[in-house]
Structure 1
Amino acid sequence: MSSSVMDMTLRWLFLVLLGCASAVSPSMYGEITSPNYPQIYPNNANETWNIQVPDGYGIRLYFIHLDIEPSDNCEYDSLQVIIGNEVQRVFCGRHSLESTGFPKETFYPTTRMKLHFNSDFSNQERYTGFAAYYVAVDVDECKLSNPCSHFCNNYIGGFFCSCPPEYELQEDQSTCGGNCSGGLYTDLRGQISSPGYPSPYPENSRCEYKILLELGYQVVLTFKAQDFDIEAPEDGSCIYDSLIIKAKGRKFGPYCGRTPPPRIETGSYEVDIDFITDSGGDNRGWKIYYSEDAIPCPTGTFQHAIVNPRKDKYIFKDMITVKCEEGYEILYGQKRLPSFRAKCQADGTWSNANLRCQPVNCGDPEEITNGDVDFTLTTYGAMAVYHCTTEYYTLKGEDTYHCSLDGFWRNSKKETELPQCAAVCGKSSVIWETRILGGKGAKEGYFPWLVRVASSPNGLGGASLISDRWVLTAAHVVQEDESPTLKVGSVAHHMATEIPVKKVIVHPEWTIGSNDGRLNFNNDIALIQLARRVELDECVYPVCLPQKGESDHPAIREAGYVAGWGTTERLQKTKHLQFTMVPLRDLEGCKKIVPKNHTVNSNMLCAGAAGHDSCTHDSGGPLMFEDLKVRNEEYKTLYIAGIVSWGVKCGEFGMYTKVQNYLDWIETTIEKEEREENDEEQPEPLKICKK
């Protein structure tokens, strides 16, 4: 025989033996003896026998020999009878069949037990142990545990339960209950009663009934005192028998006793009735009277709403139009609806019930640059008040806004445009005490908007801060330098603070070219946008721009100020800001003095007098005049009328770019640049003042 065939044969024999072993059924009887029986048992014995008989049987155990070393509580040697994890009996001692102490046969109502024998280290008296037999004995379950609710029938190896004729055996095969389920009631009115009513209802039963009406109706249940008798304990807890009503996810009950439930409006066209009984009691049961009623839709679903038509009761298929009271709105996603229609549905709910009249909410009011807004609520009628963060800004526009019906914050003029915190401009403490060229040193606070410019290749010049982000200067000063060096904050330029530049914007009609020998300075104006805003305070704030349309100001011979770090009357540059007063001159008169090959036009101003003038390195600086319409005893308010542009000879008169003519360009340019960077995150303002 080949090895492969032999392997297959052995494998088959192993499977056959395994199958035979697993098929062995519990034994009906057996003998168990101690080790070496009938000879003396060994020392230190420890042995266990498992006994099992078929289901439906118990075990009868008896001895024919018992000879185990005696001791108190069988401490030395013993035989234990164990069922589950509990020791039922313990045997030891020397007994004969005829002796009074010999154990009688014992019946154990179990299918499994263990016998455990153990001995200690010494069997000096030569005890011979034990011999015992077990026999499977039928158990009468009916007498042992009364497992059936009505009739119990025993047979060898088991039992079965049976019921009276009016009952049937339940799924547990031990309980008898009445057959009372499956009733369906579809008439608009009717009666339902417990099984056999008014005779006592069956025990151990679960009766289920269903009422199913047409859509749009609800089931109404009523009870009468004489028709209600369900077993109940004294505490009324309904733990014995109970009646339960279920409708539309709601539960009514449980009910029991002799007091009937109140009238029940279920709110549903579909109702389930459950009646559950236990094994005791002798009560008559119950009768329910049911009827239909149109299911009403609630009248208070739509809060803060104007409903049309208005009724005391709405029923299936009724339609209404819903509008909101003043101060409330209907939101459908992101859309506002003026009204909506709703229909009373068959289940007593409104269509579109998810739509609500919500308070008009304007959201948090927008913030403004250099300002704050105070508010508490954001709903209709709420108030928001704007103010600027420091005294160096002034609010332009109305400060108070209210949340309006359309969901926007509006001022008293119904406008949504927000106020602006404009920089306080032109405040100057300048005092003219004496006669740049013909000038004197400026003090802190005289011209806090003055900017010193160092550009390539044009060297030094001046400029003026006109907001916290923009600087105004002459085009010829910065025309060839995209990133000039700017310093502000001190009359001594070596003590001033450098401010970073983002962009230089020269007037589009300025002709870029060399300044040496230039004859045409028309449109000599430029804007510089700062990379960071400067924090306005007592050290630095802007000069005012002239008012649009005021062409009569400044007037001829009116005295203004020029200031800069340029050449003085000694033709030397200065480290300290110098200023002087110069009168405005008639442009036509200056034109006659200027060489005819120079361009002089209405975009220019002429100012100066003998010994009082701007000069080299003052280019781009301001020509300033006092705003006589602003009266204040503590300070003057100055505006920039001109920008130092060119001249024929220092110390006589100078030509200035007329700022009035470029106000539109300044405004539109700034708006365009700031609009384009609207989404850019801005850095914190730069603090200049060291105080």
Structure 2
Amino acid sequence: MKLRWLFLALLGYASAGSPSMFGEVTSPNYPQVYPSSALETWNIQVPDGYGIRLYFIHLDIEPSENCEYDSLQVIIGNEVQQVFCGRHSFGSSGFPKEKFYPTTRMKLSFRSDFSNQERHTGFAAYYVAEDVDECDTANPCSHFCNNYIGGFFCSCPPEYELQEDQNTCGVNCSGGLYTDLRGQISSPGYPSPYPENSRCGYKVVLEWGYQVILTFKAQDFDIEAPEDGKCIYDSLIIKAKGKKFGPYCGKTPPPRIETGSNEVDIDFITDSGGDNKGWNIYYSEYAIPCPTDVFKNSILNPRKDKYFFKDVITVKCKEGYETVLNQKRLPSFRTKCQGDGTWSPIHKCEPVNCGDPDEIDNGEVDFTDSTYGSKAVYKCRTEYYTLIGDDTFHCSGEGLWINSNNKSELPKCIGVCGKTSLSQKGRIFGGEKAKKGYFPWLVRIVMTSNFGGGSLISDGWVVTAAHVLPEGEMPTLQVGDVDYRHAKTIQAKKVIIHPDWPNADDEDERKNYNNDIALIQLAKRIELDECISPICLPEKGDTSRPAVREVGYIAGWGKAKPNKTKVLVNEPKILQYTGVPLHDLEKCKTDKAKAYTFTSNMLCAGGDGHDSCQGDSGGPLMYEDRKNNDYKRFYIAGIVSWGIKCGEMGMYTKVRNYVDWIEKTIEEVENEEKKEEQPEPVKVCKNV
């Protein structure tokens, strides 16, 4: 016994820091009485290549049938191997004997119930690591097993090699390459029995354009197989062009195999048993055809019943189908029959898809599908916009949405212009208050030191006078209400002065107002509605309007005087308006005005107390468009520019002369901004 303990001590010292080579396990309070309701577990682990030998020097656990009260369990994995209980003297017939467990891990679990009245003292046990003879217990090697303390190794006969798993011996029979157009391939040693535990690989590579044909004879096929024929022992597998044939086994050979490829892999796998002679394969060549049904929904030219290696055809998709390559549509493509029986290049004829039709500003598009022949219909969102252009498009065979004229240019929803509810006349210099709906395009332009007027000509642009806008300042605009205190404030994004507006050293002394016109781009577009909409521009080419003595309207928040008084008062909060007649330009060249410049870019209107005044500059001179039969509408003929004295005849910029400049300028700016992300339109009306 002393020698054993010395051996255990040496082993324990040598194994410090690793799974223990030995150890002691005792019950709680040992050698005193163990407590009631106890539960304790010990996990035992020894190094790999060893097992655990367990022995007791003391056992005194309350006895019961099947050890139901108190017990010590030996557990390996999830299974209980032994259960101990009872009172036994060391060396007696009932005392547990030493036992060896061929495992590196073990769990001991002790439990007691609610009482220990007889004062049992529990147990004391020792474990020690003991070498496992793997060759004797598991026989892990296919041929020769060699045991050593803590492990084992396998070895093979001279004609065999140890495989990657380090347990199995097999014959290296891979690497056979066959390139002749015809030939035979056999298993190792055929017709003698083939070797065990082997993986053999053979490869047939024929000239490009031929496929490999494999045939078998009944007398040349004998591979070990179980009774159910599932080829779980030995098997022959053929692989070609991504296809797999087999596995095959038994004495019945496979049928003739047309591999469809000029390259074939043959794999033969064997296990550790059997005494079968193996197999012999005959291989030959056959020209590989290309299929005729690959290009669905297409027209092939030339059309043949069969195509073979090196045949070239042109593929064109049928009407309503297309080939898309790298996001480019191909009207047709040429392809060649390859040696492996495939066409190259190969593309699909897919249904033409025009994608979702483009959206338009202030409009909607209704469609259910986007493939060839589908229809899309555009409309404007509200009655305050009108659609310009064709409203119906269809998906064409070219993958484009086109209208009835085969054009792809989208319609536009532009604001309904010049719409008014005005039905009476009044005055602005001592004039009447405008009501909502009279002039929904009127804009109050606010600067740091002054203010003026302007006219909305689209949902994103305002036209005004150049002299209203001081250089270097970006104005704000009040829109949507005749009372500017309740109006919506909109920020300006860009100010564009007419390029021919003359410079002046002192604006207060300016005498030349030729080309007095400017455009203001809004920072955000306006959602047109009942309280705000644009005024129309004059029609190009119509020089007959407005005519001399024809009465138009002016409106603004500039200085005014009450009826029956000649004293100017502060600017009104409510928009004022009046009617003014148009005069011949020569009539306006009075002695007082001789110092000023007169040009054909100007109009002269007003008089007799009907006139614009300070604060009205930039506002519109408006006339009714009598050619329109749909609704009463106004166009802007002039812009309040200059005058000698409020109440007398005033001068206006003649807008008709600038329609081309207005349209071209707006188009250029908006084209530059097409790629920019546009903010959501501003909603101005409060009662909607």
**Cα distance change of structure 1 residues 432 and 232 upon mapping to structure 2, 3 Å threshold:** same
Helix, strand or coil at the partner of 2:452:
strand
**Which amino acid in 2 is paired with 1:204?**
E
1:258 to partner: Cα distance = 3.7
The aligned counterpart of 1:73 is none
Residues 86-105 of structure 1 mapped to structure 2, 5 A cutoff: 86-87=52-53
**Which amino acid in 2 is paired with 1:293?**
Y
- Whole-Å separation in 1 of the counterparts to 2:496 and 2:169: 102
Matched, 1:621 2:619: yes
- Whole-Å separation in 1 of the counterparts to 2:536 and 2:676: 27
The aligned counterpart of 1:471 is 462
CA displacement 1:349-385 (0-9 Å, x = unmatched): 33323x4445544444444333344455544444444
**Which amino acid in 2 is paired with 1:397?**
G
Aligned length: 564
TM norm structure 1: 0.69
1:464 to partner: Cα distance = 1.4
Residues 143-222 of structure 1 mapped to structure 2, 5 A cutoff: 171=162, 185-192=178-185, 201-202=193-194, 204=196, 206=198, 209-222=202-215
1:562 to partner: Cα distance = 1.5
Give yes or no for contact 2:556–2:616 (8 Å, CA) kept in 1.
yes
Give yes or no for contact 1:371–1:421 (8 Å, CA) kept in 2.
yes
- Whole-Å separation in 2 of the counterparts to 1:88 and 1:454: 101
1:663 to partner: Cα distance = 0.5
The aligned counterpart of 2:632 is 636
Helix, strand or coil at the partner of 1:427:
coil
Q: Which residue, 648, 663, 669 being the options, matches 2:659?
A: 663
Matched, 1:581 2:579: yes
Q: Which residue, 342, 360, 366 being the options, matches 1:368?
A: 360
Q: Which residue, 604, 629, 632 being the options, matches 2:602?
A: 604
Give yes or no for contact 1:194–1:201 (8 Å, CA) kept in 2.
no
**Which amino acid in 1 is paired with 2:661?**
W
1:396 to partner: Cα distance = 1.9
- Whole-Å separation in 1 of the counterparts to 2:201 and 2:476: 94
Give yes or no for contact 1:168–1:176 (8 Å, CA) kept in 2.
no
CA displacement 1:305-338 (0-9 Å, x = unmatched): 3332333333322222333333444444355444
Helix, strand or coil at the partner of 2:408:
coil
Moved more, 466-475 or 578-587: 578-587
The aligned counterpart of 1:387 is 379
Helix, strand or coil at the partner of 1:260:
coil
Matched, 1:487 2:478: yes
The aligned counterpart of 1:127 is none
Q: Which residue, 35, 53, 59 being the options, matches 2:2?
A: 35
1:628 to partner: Cα distance = 1.8
Matched, 1:560 2:527: no
1:211 to partner: Cα distance = 3.7
**Cα distance change of structure 1 residues 650 and 244 upon mapping to structure 2, 3 Å threshold:** closer
Q: Which residue, 543, 551, 557 being the options, matches 1:551?
A: 543
The aligned counterpart of 2:123 is none
The aligned counterpart of 2:531 is 539
**Which amino acid in 2 is paired with 1:288?**
I
Matched, 1:236 2:235: no
- Whole-Å separation in 2 of the counterparts to 1:192 and 1:210: 10
**Cα distance change of structure 1 residues 271 and 486 upon mapping to structure 2, 3 Å threshold:** closer
- Whole-Å separation in 2 of the counterparts to 1:396 and 1:460: 35
Helix, strand or coil at the partner of 2:481:
coil
**Cα distance change of structure 1 residues 190 and 625 upon mapping to structure 2, 3 Å threshold:** same
**Cα distance change of structure 1 residues 233 and 612 upon mapping to structure 2, 3 Å threshold:** same
Helix, strand or coil at the partner of 2:2:
coil
1:432 to partner: Cα distance = 0.6
CA displacement 1:361-417 (0-9 Å, x = unmatched): 444444433334445554444444433344332222223333444444333223333
- Whole-Å separation in 2 of the counterparts to 1:450 and 1:456: 20
Moved more, 187-196 or 466-475: 187-196
CA displacement 1:220-276 (0-9 Å, x = unmatched): 123345654443222111123332223344332111234332221112223343444
**Cα distance change of structure 1 residues 185 and 597 upon mapping to structure 2, 3 Å threshold:** closer
Helix, strand or coil at the partner of 1:428:
coil
Matched, 1:290 2:277: no
Helix, strand or coil at the partner of 1:581:
strand
- Whole-Å separation in 2 of the counterparts to 1:565 and 1:184: 99
Which residues of structure 1 form unaligned runs of 5+? 1-33, 37-44, 53-81, 93-100, 102-107, 111-138, 153-157
1:190 to partner: Cα distance = 4.3
**Cα distance change of structure 1 residues 483 and 283 upon mapping to structure 2, 3 Å threshold:** closer
**Which amino acid in 1 is paired with 2:453?**
G
- Whole-Å separation in 1 of the counterparts to 2:551 and 2:142: 124
**Cα distance change of structure 1 residues 535 and 515 upon mapping to structure 2, 3 Å threshold:** same
1:592 to partner: Cα distance = 7.7
Give yes or no for contact 1:201–1:282 (8 Å, CA) kept in 2.
yes
- Whole-Å separation in 2 of the counterparts to 1:299 and 1:510: 74
Which residues of structure 2 form unaligned runs of 5+? 12-45, 59-92, 94-99, 103-132, 146-151
Give yes or no for contact 2:155–2:162 (8 Å, CA) kept in 1.
no
- Whole-Å separation in 2 of the counterparts to 1:205 and 1:565: 104
- Whole-Å separation in 2 of the counterparts to 1:503 and 1:146: 88
Q: Which residue, 71, 82, 85 being the options, matches 2:51?
A: 85
The aligned counterpart of 2:408 is 416
Matched, 1:265 2:231: no
1:620 to partner: Cα distance = 2.1
- Whole-Å separation in 2 of the counterparts to 1:461 and 1:654: 15
Structure with higher Rg: it is 1
1:210 to partner: Cα distance = 4.4
- Whole-Å separation in 1 of the counterparts to 2:523 and 2:464: 17
Helix, strand or coil at the partner of 1:663:
helix
**Cα distance change of structure 1 residues 667 and 203 upon mapping to structure 2, 3 Å threshold:** closer
CA RMSD of aligned residues (A): 4.5
TM norm structure 2: 0.69
1:660 to partner: Cα distance = 0.9
Helix, strand or coil at the partner of 1:625:
strand
1:579 to partner: Cα distance = 1.4
1:473 to partner: Cα distance = 1.8
The aligned counterpart of 2:121 is none
Give yes or no for contact 2:214–2:283 (8 Å, CA) kept in 1.
yes
Identity value in percent: 62
Give yes or no for contact 1:456–1:480 (8 Å, CA) kept in 2.
no
1:680 to partner: Cα distance = 4.3
Q: Which residue, 521, 540, 563 being the options, matches 1:529?
A: 521
Helix, strand or coil at the partner of 1:482:
coil
Give yes or no for contact 1:424–1:542 (8 Å, CA) kept in 2.
yes
- Whole-Å separation in 1 of the counterparts to 2:213 and 2:627: 86
- Whole-Å separation in 2 of the counterparts to 1:649 and 1:260: 117
